Chain A
Amino acid sequence: MHELAIAQGLMGEVLRVAAMHGANGVDLVVVRIGALAGVEPGLLERAFSVARAGTLASRAALEIEHGPLVVVCSSCGAETEARADRIVCGDCGDWKVRVVEGEEMLLVRVGLTGVGEAAPSEDKSEPPHLQM
């Protein structure tokens, strides 16, 4: 059950981002977990609710994005999807493939609340950087 270790690392990063932007709360945490990342989404959700307790993110929702497992074949060149337990080319069946997507384990996005006092909302093309 290394999901707790991962959730704690995730929370450390989330809180660092929140502090950097002077936020006083976190309401959303989006992670991306590839099929080969070795993380069980259900376990990560439970671990997340433990790790967020007593922090700025204590009410944050966790959203998990699942990407496909994509391989590129060294024999025929095809780019196809594969299953985690059978990482072979979907076209010719060869195992000499390279995984191009499916191993990521990333914090993608954080939703912050209470950032700054009077943030201008009209000009979205140049968002102000606060307290960097």
Chain B
Amino acid sequence: MCDTCGCSITPGNRHLVEAGGKLANIQDGRASVEVLTNLLAENDAMARHNRKHIERHGVLAINLMSSPGSGKTALLEATADALGGRLRIGVIEGDLATENDARRIRAKGVPAIQITTGQACHLDAHMVHDALHELDLAALDVLFIENVGNLVCPASFDLGHHLNVALLSVAEGDDKPAKYPVMFRHADLVLLSKADLLGAIDDFDTAAAERHVRDLANPAPVMPVSVRRPALLENWIAWVEAKLTSRRMGLVQRPRVERDARNLVGMHP
């Protein structure tokens, strides 16, 4: 047990640490306080609230992340078509400051709430919370959250979702996972989007893309998808249905990298 490094924090004594920190030494009115709080504690508390809310309705929530233009909205449109009402889906759109993406989704008969992120480069749990309260969760099986097109910061914010999906379009280069390790490490599924273009793009190697994902210690499936080839959507649809089934069977679904684990480990000085 070590008092200053936090490795001894347990669910039982954690409130002591969080209550304002342990006053270490004090001299002439100057004090040093050991704290050890997660910098995203406020976001994460909101995310836990969101997840509870979502789970109360038996909904599975999936966070879609990618660079701008990798095909997130197109995938959601194609998913609505492919499901053909077999599952009830809803979408929280955070990709653009306009209503464009939400309009595209609604045109498919799917409820969509647009979060106007303005200049924000990621969604956070508070933005998603407000959107959640505008959605009728009781009428949904799967909720998709389309994050802001950005490979850097969306990965750092838990939204209260269950699974992360990262899209990498075949026009982007198969080494993107190595360049954006934080994002691709968090993915529970990596989709190689616009796979219909693979024939025309000669320097994208799907095996290399998968190797780069493995090099981040990530066992996530890596699958090609295309909204232009119905056959190249089947694996994706099957994955969503399988995850919903596990969720319904009461199996815990959580994003691969959980914040609690990531902040209370490895604290030996």
Contact surface of A with B, Cβ cutoff 8 Å: 1-2, 5-6, 9-10, 12-13, 16-17, 20-21, 23, 27-28, 31-32, 34, 36-39, 67, 70-71, 84-88, 95-117, 119, 121, 124, 127-130, 132
Cα of A32 to Cα of B43 in the assembled complex, Å? 18
Q: How many residues belonging to B are interface residues under a CB distance threshold of 8 Å?
A: 53
A-B contact count (CB 8 A): 173
Residues of A within 8 A of B6 (CB): 106
Q: A100 with B265: in contact, given A9-B41, A106-B38 (CB under 8 Å)?
A: yes
Residues of B within 8 A of A102 (CB): 266
15 A-B pairs besides A100-B266, A112-B31 with CB distance below 8 A are: A5-B122, A9-B40, A16-B20, A20-B19, A36-B181, A36-B182, A38-B183, A85-B215, A87-B181, A87-B217, A103-B257, A109-B32, A111-B33, A112-B30, A124-B25
CB distance from A70 to the nearest CB of B (A): 6
- Dominant SS among interface residues on chain B: mixed
Please name 30 pairs of A and B residues whose Cβ atoms are closer than 8 Å in the assembled complex, sorted by A: A2-B122, A6-B39, A6-B156, A10-B39, A12-B42, A13-B35, A17-B33, A17-B35, A21-B21, A86-B215, A87-B185, A88-B217, A101-B265, A104-B262, A104-B264, A104-B266, A105-B38, A106-B267, A107-B37, A107-B39, A109-B35, A111-B30, A111-B31, A111-B32, A113-B29, A115-B30, A116-B29, A119-B29, A127-B25, A132-B19
Interface centre among A12, A119, A130 (most CB of B within 10 A): A119
Interface centre among A5, A37, A111, A114 (most CB of B within 10 A): A5
Does B23 count as interface, using CB distance less than 8 angstroms?
yes
CB distance from A67 to the nearest CB of B (A): 6
Does B219 count as interface, using CB distance less than 8 angstroms?
yes
Cα of A39 to Cα of B181 in the assembled complex, Å? 12
CB distance from A87 to the nearest CB of B (A): 4
Does B36 count as interface, using CB distance less than 8 angstroms?
yes
Contact check, B153 vs A2: say whether CB atoms are below 8 A apart. Answer: yes
Cα of A121 to Cα of B31 in the assembled complex, Å? 11
Contact check, A114 vs B29: say whether CB atoms are below 8 A apart. Answer: yes
CB distance from B206 to the nearest CB of A (A): 17
Cα of A32 to Cα of B267 in the assembled complex, Å? 9
CB distance from B149 to the nearest CB of A (A): 14
CB distance from B48 to the nearest CB of A (A): 16
Contact check, A106 vs B178: say whether CB atoms are below 8 A apart. Answer: no
Residues of A within 8 A of B156 (CB): 2, 6, 37-39, 105
Q: A105 with B21: in contact, given A1-B153, A87-B216, A97-B217 (CB under 8 Å)?
A: no
